[in-house]
Amino acid sequence: MTADVIRVVLADDHAVVRAGVKAVLSSAKDIQVIGEGSNGKEAIGLVDRLNPDVLVMDLSMGEMDGITATRELVEKETRTKILILTMHAEDAYLVKVLEAGASGYLVKSAADRELVDAVRAVAHGDLYMQPSATRALAKGIQRKSEHADEREKYEKLTERERDVLRFVAGGFSAPEIGEKLFISPKTVDTYKQRINEKLGLSHRSDYVDFALKLGLLTK
């Protein structure tokens, strides 16, 4: 940090969301937004070029998701701390974020109240998690131990494939999933085919069973 100013880069594939996050951060005198990107690859490029103190990054983005970008940045041993900002509140996402090497995880619905504090915390070397996160992390670690084979297969899925898996297990049709993810039903079917090949699944019941084992659905 320079003169106690926290330099931040934002990465989110929705410009409106980035504008909102920037507005929240700009309200703090000790935080300066110095760059913006729309996917994980752009985020990595901005970190390499600008060397920010904190990268505030969305979890689900096209071209490269937040988890993959986090892993790549951690492998590079960058000094930049990573705060994942996402719409997903599920425990499984929290565990994956921390395992990838991020310094914090904040649900977008709480951003207007907690974002500034979260950025300050990770910038100073602390781990930022919401109150329920410790219990969620413990449960996630336990599930990982109990279903190591399923977890290993799940790790091979892209972020978009995980979204489709969760929605299929939740009983949504291809058109409904397409509407939620802003993709065509045909593209949803393509993702399902890839999931089937990677996980060895055939029917929706297989999706439900797999998702329940990893805690992706509420029993």
| pLDDT-based confidence at residue 139 (cuts at 50, 70, 90) | low
Indicate the pTM of the whole model. 0.61
| CA 18 to chain CA centroid, nearest Å | 15
CA gyration radius for the chain?
18
> How many Å from the N-terminal Cα to the C-terminal Cα in the chain?
45
Query: Which residue type, as a one-letter code, is found at position 74?
Result: V
| 147-213: CATH, from 1.10.10.10, 1.10.30.50, 3.90.1330.10, 3.60.20.30 | 1.10.10.10
pLDDT of residue 2: 54
Q: Is 70 exceeded by the pLDDT of residue 133?
A: no
> What pairing do the DSSP bridges indicate for beta strands 81-86 and 54-58?
parallel
Phi/psi class of residue 101: alpha, beta or left (left: φ > 0; alpha: ψ in -120 to 50)? left
Superfamily of domain 6-134 in the CATH hierarchy: Response regulator (3.40.50.2300)
More reliable by pLDDT, 43 or 2: 43
Q: Is 80 exceeded by the pLDDT of residue 83?
A: yes
CA distances from 94 to 76, 84, 87 (A): 22, 9, 12
**CB-count exposure of residue 23 (10 Å: 0-12, 13-18, 19+):** exposed
| pLDDT-based confidence at residue 144 (cuts at 50, 70, 90) | low
Q: Sign (positive/negative) of CA torsion 18, 23, 24, 29?
A: positive
- For residue 206, the number of C-alpha atoms closer than 13 Å in the C-beta half-sphere is 11
Domain chopping of the chain, boundaries: 6-134, 147-213
pLDDT of residue 105: 86
CA distances from 103 to 24, 79, 108 (A): 20, 11, 16
Q: In the numeric block, which tokens belong to residue 42?
A: 């752009």
Q: Is 70 exceeded by the pLDDT of residue 138?
A: no
Q: Is 70 exceeded by the pLDDT of residue 132?
A: no
Q: Is 90 exceeded by the pLDDT of residue 194?
A: yes
Q: Is 70 exceeded by the pLDDT of residue 145?
A: no
